[in-house]
Amino acid sequence: MAVITRPVAEDLRTLMRGAVHLRGEAGYAAEVEGFNLLSPTRPDLVVVPEDEADVQAAVRWAAAHAQTVHPQLTGHGAYRALEHGMLLKTSRLTHLRVDADRASWTMGAGLRWMDILPELHRHGLGAVTGSARTVGAVGLILGGGIGPLGLTLGMASDWARAFRVVDGRGDVLVASPTENTDLFWALRGGKVGLGVVTEMTVAAPRTPFVYGGGLFYGAADIHRVTHAWLDWVRDIPDSVNTSIAILRLPPEVPVIGGSAVLHVRYAYVEPGASTDELAEGGEALLAGWRELAGPTILDTVGVLPSDRLGEIHSEPEGPIPVWEWGDFLEDIDHDFIDTLLSHVGAAREAPLATVEIRLQGGAIVREPAVPSAVGGKAQPFTLLVLGMPSDELAPWEVVEAAGHAIRDDVAGYSGAQINYNWANHPSSDTFRTRLWSQEASDRLRNVRAAVDPDGVFEHGN
């Protein structure tokens, strides 16, 4: 790869309105910092385009100077060192147009869910998001996007209607159900090596409110309530969305900090329902659970406006140090729960902040009207193990050893596929064999070769 010197970078500055920072220059450090403080991001240069024409100029310049291009917004997906090439930050592509009549929105690639949701709510709409409001909408949808309303409304990517993409030659392509249809299929789940998305149009459900939140159970109840959840989810309708997480939060967090707690997430979704109807329907379906699980130490369930969907999971907002491992599972049983609790149950001093199980199924499994490349839909449960290493409390090695011990003990439950958004930076083996079916993998390879024949968008696999 060619070395980028100051005079060479000056040439790029004359071609772009946006910012260009070489490693070591003022402005570089602020632009390369992302969500995960433990993920070294030190590319040769970072560019921050002002608009789509800037993205084209940056990609063409990178191709001409043998630089790889790495599109990024928040760094939520950065789990591997990036020490070369061009980091292309989309953070200034921030336009947003909501079409309330058509129930859709068109957005620049620089928006996170938290930037979009208030506007949608104001127009009487909701969105199919992931769990964290700080994640970028494009990054999530490129992987599929499994979120707190998924069992009712499907994958976030099922709602995508069109993309504008700058390809490896610097040309703009529109991908939709009628244009560049292979690319449209690939951009919903194929995740990497597909160009830089500059703009996306997404349909919005008419769900300005849901009925949801979190039910927290104290350490003494974790064992009983976790087992009860596994029984309860066998028999819930698709209007109910739920997941659980064993959390270990710092003592300064009121009520739920200082010891292990179980967080049961709940969302009842009924498009078009009034807030009264949501409360009535949502409570009716929760009644059986409340009886089964008993008293909570904190209950935040209620009518929730769509701009507060992030409160269902209440993910950490970062930047934070993160060690993470996830998998998609075949059906789990009570032995699985016991195994997991032998690592992170109340009796253990586990150095892991979150161990989460999500229920899949419902609308997640259904193929959208226009099929997509999303993998991992058929696995009925997901598992995520997350630690926040710190030199004083739990060094990286300790967190990693605890995470790997879980990974090894539950390996027998590992599913045939895993979705890209759970795989972080997948190994070559995972990339080839577990993210998609063989047929989808072959088709994606062809789409990537057509969009980026010279391999400008390096994706590590």
Q: Is 428 exposed, middle or buried (0-12, 13-18, 19+ CB in 10 A)?
A: exposed
Tokens of 439: 């047929």
CB of 132 vs ligand FAD, minimal distance in Å: 4
Binder among 21, 60, 76, 434 for ligand FAD (CB under 6 A): 76
Residue 35 lies near ligand FAD (rule: CB under 6 A): yes
Residue 35 beta carbon to ligand FAD: minimum distance, rounded to whole angstroms: 6
**Distance of closest approach, residue 424 Cβ to ligand FAD, in angstroms:** 8
Task: Show the site string, 5-24: x = touches ligand FAD by CB under 6 A, - = not.
Answer: --------------------
* Amino acid letter, residue 430: T
Determine how many CB atoms are found less than 10 A away from the CB of residue 228. Answer: 17
CA nearest to 334, candidates 269, 399, 413, 261 = 413
Of 293 and 423, the one with the shorter C-beta distance to ligand FAD is 423
Q: What is residue 427's DSSP assignment?
A: -
Nearest 5°: CA angle at 218, between 402 and 244?
60
Q: Does 78 bind ligand FAD (CB under 6 A)?
A: yes
By CB under 6 A, tell whether 71 contacts ligand FAD: yes
Q: How far is the CB of 77 from ligand FAD (least distance, A)?
A: 3
Identify residues 282-341 at the interface with ligand FAD (CB under 6 A).
315
Does 374 interact with ligand FAD (rule: CB under 6 A)? no
Rounded to a whole number, what is the largest CA-CA distance in the chain? Answer: 70
* Residues 123 to 162 in contact with ligand FAD, rule: CB under 6 A: 130-132, 135-136, 138-140, 142-147
Distances, alpha carbon 246 to alpha carbons 22, 254, 346, 390, 418, in Å:
42, 16, 9, 20, 22
Residue 120 or 293: the one with the smaller Cβ distance to ligand FAD is 120
Tell me which residues in 43-62 interact with ligand FAD (CB under 6 A): none
Least spacing, CB of residue 275 vs ligand FAD, in Å: 25
143 is written with which tokens?
């992987």
Q: Does 109 sit near ligand FAD (CB under 6 A)?
A: yes
CB-neighbour burial class of residue 365 (10 A; exposed 0-12, middle 13-18, buried 19+):
middle
Residue nearest to ligand FAD (CB): 139
Q: Which of 4, 45, 63, 196 binds ligand FAD (CB under 6 A)?
A: 196
| Subset of 419-458 contacting ligand FAD (CB under 6 A) | 421
Report in angstroms how near the CB of residue 418 gets to ligand FAD at its nearest: 11
The phi, psi pair for 261, rounded to 5°, reads -135, 160
For 334-359, b/e burial (b = at least 16 CB within 10 A) is eebbebbbebbbbeeebbbbbbbbbb
47, 58, 197, 225: residue in contact with ligand FAD (rule CB under 6 A): 197
Residue nearer to ligand FAD on the CB measure, 48 or 341: 48
- 262 touches ligand FAD (CB under 6 A): no
**Minimum distance, C-beta of residue 48 to ligand FAD, in the bound complex (Å):** 13
CB-nearer residue toward ligand FAD: 139 or 212: 139
Distance CA 123, CA 117 (A): 10
What one-letter code names the amino acid at 421?
N
Binding residues with ligand FAD: total (CB under 6 A): 30
Pairwise CA distance, residues 451 & 173, whole Å = 9
| Lookup: tokens for 397 | 């090695």
Q: How far is CA 180 from CA 2, 60, 303, 412, 447, in A?
A: 33, 21, 41, 40, 10
Which residue in the set 72, 207, 241, 243 belongs to the binding site for ligand FAD (CB under 6 A)? Answer: 72
| Interface region with ligand FAD, contact rule CB under 6 A, candidates 45-53, 75-83, 285-293, 294-302 | 75-83
Rg (CA), the chain: 22
Report the nearest approach of ligand FAD to the CB of residue 228 (Å): 24
The reply to whether omega before 319 is within 30° of 0 (cis) is yes
Q: With binding defined as CB under 6 A, does residue 214 bind ligand FAD?
A: no
- Count Cβ neighbours within 10 Å for each residue of 279-293 and write b for 16 or more, e otherwise: bebbeebbeebeeeb
* Cβ closest to ligand FAD, residue 75 vs residue 351: 75
Contacts to ligand FAD by CB under 6 A: 35, 71-78, 90, 109, 130-132, 135-136, 138-140, 142-147, 192, 196-197, 315, 421
